[in-house]
Amino acid sequence: MAGDPMAAIRILLADDHPVLRDGVCALIGTQPDMQIVAEAANGFEAVDRYTELRPDVALMDLQMPGMNGLAAIEAIRKVDPGARIVVLTTYSGDAQVLKALKAGAAAYLLKSALRNEMIGAIRSVHVGRRHIQTEVAHSIAEHAADESLNAREIEILRLIAEGDPNKAIALKMSLAEDTIKAHIRNIFTKLYVSDRTHAVTTAVRRGIIEL
* Ramachandran quadrant class, 94 (left: phi over 0; alpha: psi -120 to 50; beta: rest): alpha
* pTM for this entry: 0.80
Asked whether the predicted pLDDT for residue 5 surpasses 80, the reply is: no
* Calpha distance 136→105 (Å, rounded): 14
In terms of C-beta density within 10 A (0-12 exposed, 13-18 middle, 19 or more buried), how is residue 183 classed? Answer: buried
Q: Is the pLDDT of residue 69 over 50?
A: yes
Nearest-angstrom CA–CA distance, 78 and 131: 22
Q: 113-122, 140-149, 161-170: which has the minimum mean pLDDT?
A: 140-149
Rounded to an integer, the average pLDDT of 131-159 is 91
Q: Which CATH class is domain 151-206?
A: mainly alpha
Rounded Cα distance, 29 and 26, in Å: 5
Beta carbons of 13 and 25 less than 8 angstroms apart: yes
Domains in the chain: boundaries: 9-142, 151-206
Residue 93, Cβ density class (10 Å: 0-12 exposed, 13-18 middle, ≥19 buried): buried
Do 33 and 7 touch, CB atoms closer than 8 A?
A: yes
| Multiple choice CATH, 9-142, 3.30.530.20, 3.30.230.10, 3.40.50.2300, 3.10.129.10 | 3.40.50.2300
Q: So what's the pLDDT on residue 6?
A: 57
pLDDT tens digits, one per residue of 31-68: 999 999 999 999 999 999 999 999 999 999 999 999 99
Determine the Cα–Cα distance for residues 167 and 185; give it in Å rounded to an integer: 15
Higher pLDDT, 200 or 3: 200
Q: CB within 8 A of 101, min separation 6: which ones?
A: 108
What CA–CA distance (Å, rounded) separates 11 from 211?
31
What's the start-to-end Cα distance of the chain, in Å?
Answer: 48
